[in-house]
Each structure stands twice: as C-alpha cells, then as structure tokens.
Structure 1
Amino acid sequence: MPVETQAVPDEDAAPAVPPKPRGTATALRSAGLLAVLGALVLVGLLSVWTGTRGIPFTATWSALWHPDGSETSVIIHDYRIPRTVLGLLVGAALGLSGALMQALTRNPLAEPGLLGISLGSSTGVVTAIAFLGIGSVLGYVWFALAGAALASVVVYLLGSSGRKVATPDRLVVAGAAVTAVLYAFNSAVLLLNPRAFDQFRFWTVGSLAGRYLDVVYVILPFVAVGLLVALLLGPALNALALGDQMGRALGVNVHRTRILGAVGVVLLCGAATAAAGPIAFVGLVVPHIARFVVGPDQRWVLAYSTALAPVLLVGADVVGRVIGAPGEVQVGIVTAFIGAPVFLALCRRRKLVML
C-alpha cells in the first residue's frame, strides 16, 4: 500500500505577496520630508513678500539679497524677516512639543497645554505686567519661560506625590488641577487690574506681529536644546509605545525618558508661548497629520512634526495678513479656524476615542 506523504513547504520559497522593502519606505518618507521642507521655503518667501503694504515680488527679492537702506529694505529686514523667522521657530517648537507630549502620555488628544505649561507661561506674563509694570515682549518673555518651568515642576511633583511614580494618567490629572488654579489666579488679577488686562489681551490672542530679532535670539537656545532632546528620544518613545513594562524589557529607562521628555516639552512650548502667546491646535493637529503620512514610528513623526508645524503656522500668518488687509487677523485666530475642522476630520477618519 502506498504511503501518503504530506508536502512540506519550502522555507526558501518567496511568499505570495512580497513585503514592501524597508529601504523603499525610508526613501519615500525621506522624499516626503524634503517636499515638506520645500513647502516651508515657499511659505517663508510668501511671508516675506506679503504684508499690510503691497511690495512687488521683484522689489522684495532685490531688497532681500541687496539691502540698501531704503524704506522697502527696512520693511523687509526689520519687520518681515524677523516675523517669519520667529514663526518658523514657534511653529517647529509647538509641533514637536505636541508630538512629544502625545508620545509620552500615549494620549492622541494631548497637546502642550495639558500639563499646565501654557497657563504657566500666561501666569508669568500676568505677574510681569500687573505687579512689575513690564510692558515689552522682550521684558516678559523671561517671566513666561519661568512660569512654564515652575508649573511643570509643580505638576510633576503632584503627579509623583507619595510613593507612586509619575504615570501619564497622574500627570494629566495633576496638570488639569494646576491649570484650573492658574486660570483662576490670572482671571482674578486681570479683573482687578484693567490696565494689565488691556495689555495682556494682545499677548494672549497669539500673534507674531511686533516681534523683532531680539525676541528670536532669546528663545533660540531654548528651542535648539528642546529640539535636540526631543529628536534623541525617538527610539525610546517607540519602545514606550508598547507599554512601560515592554519598554523596560527593551532596555529603556522609563523614568529618565519621561523626565527628559518633560524637559523638552517645557523648553519648546515655554519658549514658543513666551514669544508669540498661546496658539491653539498647532501642537494638537500636526502630530496627527504626521502619523497619517508616515505611520507610528516616532522618529519620523517627530521629524515631520518639526517641519509641518511651521508650514501651518507661517501659512496661517500669511492668510491672516491677506484676509485682514489693510490690517491683519492674528495668527492664533487663524490657526483655530484652520485646525478645528482638520482635527475633526482626522478624528472621524482615524476613529479616535475622545474621553
């Protein structure tokens, strides 16, 4: 009787559907990042060209590379270039801090203000205006940075009080409590001091107008250090996405990663908020767009968020100057109008759970 034999599959045989080569995916992501950087250059040129005073593009281009002390050259170099550079820095800081915050908390709805950073900056500005009489952006930018750092320290201490570790859930709850207290303090001070309220309202709307290169020089070191810290945490954040226990098993120091991530968020969000005021939706929406394009790899999400956010912010600033001519609509208002429907569309597409 013949013996029935079972065919053994050839282990060396190629699968029916070959997986996409890893090098191809990396090449596509790199090409996409270069395209985003090209869009960033284009938006920057539009920002230098566009303003409340119409200047032909040829005159703008000539004044950009050959300053001659004329009125057009002064407008380009003293007003529009500093505003554009600040927009690039603030946008990169907000986008990167938002991506870092969502990765640390594993919460897709997290944004830089979740840990009280934005309200901490606002409290520093309110204190500088109401109690110290400081009225310039360059004067209260340091108070905004100090307020952001102090609020973050308080949130971390509350989140790690007792013998418990500072888990993402505890940090979010502590951030909500600190935010409520700071909001009450700011409201009380501003209601009792009309002069401070009149000055603070121009800062709190979020704007790039009236900022010069000296403000850029102040926040540049903070943004640079925060950017370096955030980008170096990419591999560790990929491991933490699998959970704290799995992250430890993969050799990640969870406690140190969270502390460094919190430092990066404070530096980035604190500097951006101090320079331009609280600007909504940039740090919330951009990381979702980045993940939609490149997937869950935090290294690429952080890189794309750093490049995409300035495109959104500077582009929104250009739109505000165009639709508000001969005046302008502050960039914080424009980003809210742009970011809200985009975020709702992403939520419906990705089926995010909002708790």
Structure 2
Amino acid sequence: MNKLTNNQKRLRPHTPQRLMKVVITAFILLGLCIAASLVLGARLVSWDELVTGLSYRELDSYGASVVRERVPRTIFGLCCGAALGISGALMQAVTRNPIADPSILGVNTGAALFVVAGIAFVDISSASQYIWFALAGAMLTAIFVYGIGSMGRAGATPLKLVLAGTATSAALSSLISAIMIPRSYVMDQFRFWQVGSVGAANWNAIQTFLPFLVVGIIIAIMVAPSLNALALGDDVAKGQGVRTGTIRITAAFAGVILCGVTTALAGPIGFIGLLATHVIRLMLGPDLRLIIPLSAITGAVILTLSDVTGRLLTSPGELEAGVVTAFIGAPILIYLATRMKVRSL
C-alpha cells in the first residue's frame, strides 16, 4: 500500500498556474522561433519584407521572395521537431529509461542503414521511398535493441537498453560505411542527408510527412493515460485494466513511425527527444498527458532554433541543424547519465 501511495505521488497534479505559465511560455518561444526562422539567415529580412512575403501579394522585393522560400523550411522544421519530441517521450515511457532517445537507442542509425542500402542496391530516390525503407529499418532496429536489452534475469533495464542501443548503433554505422565507401555515388547522395538537415525542405516533403505525423500524434495522445498507469508498475496497471503488452507495442510503434519518417526526410537528427522531454518533465512532472503535447512544442522550438543558429554561425554558409543539436545534446546527455545514474522512470 505504501508503494502504491509513493508511486501515485509521482503523478500528483501540478498547479494550474504553473501549467498555464509553461504553456504560454512555450507558445511565445515557438512564435519567436518561427519569426527568427523566416527573418534570419544569410539574407536578413525586414519587417515590411516579412509581411509582404507572407501575404503572397505580387512579388516586389528580393526579401519577400526569401521569406517565401523559408516558409516550407520553417514548417518542415517544426514538424520534424514535434515528431522527434513525441518520439522521445514515448520511448522513455515504454523503456522506463530517462535517457532513451531515438538516436541513443540506435533507431536513427537503423533507419539510415536501410536508406543507404536502398540507395545502393534498389536505386531509391524519392521521399516516399526513403520513408518506407527508413520505417523498416527503424522498426527492425527497435525490436533488435529491445530484444538484446531484455536478455538476462533482470530483463530490459535502462542501462542494458542504452548499452544495447549504443553497440547496435556503432555496428550499423560500420555497415553504412562499408556500403558507401566502394560506391561514390551513394556517398554523394547520402553525405548531406546523414548530418541531419531541414534545409532541403519543400512542400512535397511536408505533404508526404504530415499523414504520418498526424497518425503518430493521435496514437501518442490515446496511449498517454495508459502509459501513466504503466509508470506505477505493471501490476498496478493491470489492476486498472491496462493491457500492458498492447500499450507498449502501440506506443513503441508510434514512436518508431515518428522517428523513422523524420529520419527519412531530414536525416538522423539526434537528441531532440531527450532534450524536449526532460525540459517538460523538469517543469511539470511525469504526467504524459502533458509531456507528449508540450514535448512536441518544445521539440519544434529546439530544432527550429538549432536550424537558425546553424545559419547564423557560418553565414553566408550553413551549419546543419543535426550538428548543432548534437553539439548541445551530447554534454547534456553526459550530465544526465552521471546525475541520474540511468535509473528507471
């Protein structure tokens, strides 16, 4: 009884005032990041040019055309960041691992391997083809990592999952190199995609991405209450009528879809899910009904901000967003691993 009481305290309600402050702050930051993405870059855009560009009136300035070119990039970055934020929240909940992330568990690398293999052996080239190959690779890698991490008496502990994911990612990265090195055309096609970027976004990519994003978000929202029950332990969850196995598979499926599709279209961008989820959990606690939607907003903010930062740091060139997120995320991962000692959620 005491254990149940202690576990239930983890999901105690936060104050409405605090929630409101977090939500308002998140949307303000999102708006500022959208504005920065449209205005900042190799060519700075004035307010008048921004308004003209967004109004889609007759083109009367170069700045307005720059704004219009940046609109799909901005929307695509928001979608990718939201997808990775939700994916990270789902994977942390399913594995009960506070540092679980698609990049850490090897899912990104599995998706990348299948895309490279598709380019090399099947000659794929379109966004839709990339998506299906990436999804297959992400799902198989997730199953493999969870299977390896579940071996032994203790089952799938957080530490074992991280180790399995890291080892799998290293092995798959070697396979990627083995496929690319003898094939220069594959390397040329893959090298810019590999670092993770939203710079090549267009409306076709957004239209291809949106159905998968909507499905993933719907599934994530539907399973959130059941995942909260799982956080109290399998016995408690079963006592509340939760089918633990089905919920884990469904949540993992949604997380893999969101990660796989993002990786297919933008490359293996890492650490977004880790950063976004921890920021929200730190402010509002572990309630996944709040973590999932707010991680989507936070992930969109982080990726958009990283994209803008990459543009400004090397202007008039660009530093890819995946490089910026890795530069920020790696030390934070080290800090979390040392402070939290990879304990389960």
- TM-score bracket for the superposition, by shorter chain length: 0.7 to 0.9
**Given the alignment of the two structures, is residue 49 of structure 1 paired with residue 67 of structure 2, yes or no?**
no
2:216 match: 226
CA contact (8 A) 2:131 2:260 kept: no
**In 1, Cα distance between the equivalents of 2:146 and 2:298?**
29
Structure 1 residue 223: Cα displacement? 1.0
Structure 1 residue 138: Cα displacement? 5.8
Larger relative CO (CA 8 A, sep 6+): 1 or 2?
2
Match for 1:310: what amino acid? A
**Given the alignment of the two structures, is residue 272 of structure 1 paired with residue 262 of structure 2, yes or no?**
yes
1:17 match: none
**In 2, Cα distance between the equivalents of 1:270 and 1:252?**
27
CA contact (8 A) 2:194 2:267 kept: yes
2:301 match: 311
**In 1, Cα distance between the equivalents of 2:262 and 2:333?**
21
Structure 1 residue 290: Cα displacement? 0.9
Structure 1 residue 28: Cα displacement? 2.3
Note the aligned Cα RMSD (angstroms): 2.9
- Matched ranges for 1:106-117 at <5 A: 106-117=96-107
1:352 to 336, 340, 343: 340
**In 2, Cα distance between the equivalents of 1:260 and 1:24?**
27
Structure 1 residue 326: Cα displacement? 0.7
Structure 1 residue 129: Cα displacement? 2.0
2:82 match: 92
Structure 1 residue 104: Cα displacement? 1.0
Rg: which structure is higher?
1
1:9 match: none
Compared CA separation, residues 24 and 282, structure 1 to 2 (3 A): closer
Structure 1 residue 174: Cα displacement? 6.4
CA contact (8 A) 2:34 2:74 kept: yes
2:310 match: 320
Compared CA separation, residues 156 and 333, structure 1 to 2 (3 A): closer
Compared CA separation, residues 245 and 298, structure 1 to 2 (3 A): same
2:178 to 188, 200, 205: 188
**In 2, Cα distance between the equivalents of 1:97 and 1:42?**
24
1:123 match: 113
With normalisation by structure 1, the TM-score equals 0.83
2:65 match: 74
Match for 2:262: what amino acid? A
**In 2, Cα distance between the equivalents of 1:286 and 1:343?**
12
**In 1, Cα distance between the equivalents of 2:115 and 2:35?**
32
Structure 1 residue 152: Cα displacement? 3.7
**In 2, Cα distance between the equivalents of 1:188 and 1:347?**
31
**In 2, Cα distance between the equivalents of 1:178 and 1:329?**
27
Structure 1 residue 242: Cα displacement? 1.7
Aligned length: 330
**In 2, Cα distance between the equivalents of 1:24 and 1:329?**
39
Unpaired runs of 5+ in structure 1? 1-21
2:320 to 330, 352, 355: 330
**In 2, Cα distance between the equivalents of 1:23 and 1:313?**
29
**In 2, Cα distance between the equivalents of 1:34 and 1:301?**
15
**In 2, Cα distance between the equivalents of 1:267 and 1:91?**
14
1:233 aligned counterpart, secondary structure: helix
CA contact (8 A) 2:150 2:157 kept: no
Give CA deviations for 1:76-117 in whole Å, capped at 9, x if unaligned: 22x201100011000001111111111111111111135542
Compared CA separation, residues 198 and 152, structure 1 to 2 (3 A): same
- Matched ranges for 1:222-261 at <5 A: 222-261=212-251
**In 1, Cα distance between the equivalents of 2:201 and 2:259?**
17
Unpaired runs of 5+ in structure 2? 1-11
1:67 aligned counterpart, secondary structure: coil
Structure 1 residue 277: Cα displacement? 0.6
Which sits farther off after the overlay, 131-140 or 32-41? 131-140
**In 1, Cα distance between the equivalents of 2:143 and 2:285?**
32
**In 1, Cα distance between the equivalents of 2:342 and 2:163?**
16
Match for 2:35: what amino acid? L
Structure 1 residue 346: Cα displacement? 5.4
Structure 1 residue 31: Cα displacement? 3.3
1:112 aligned counterpart, secondary structure: coil
Compared CA separation, residues 174 and 333, structure 1 to 2 (3 A): closer
Which sits farther off after the overlay, 142-151 or 132-141? 132-141
1:86 aligned counterpart, secondary structure: helix
Compared CA separation, residues 334 and 126, structure 1 to 2 (3 A): same
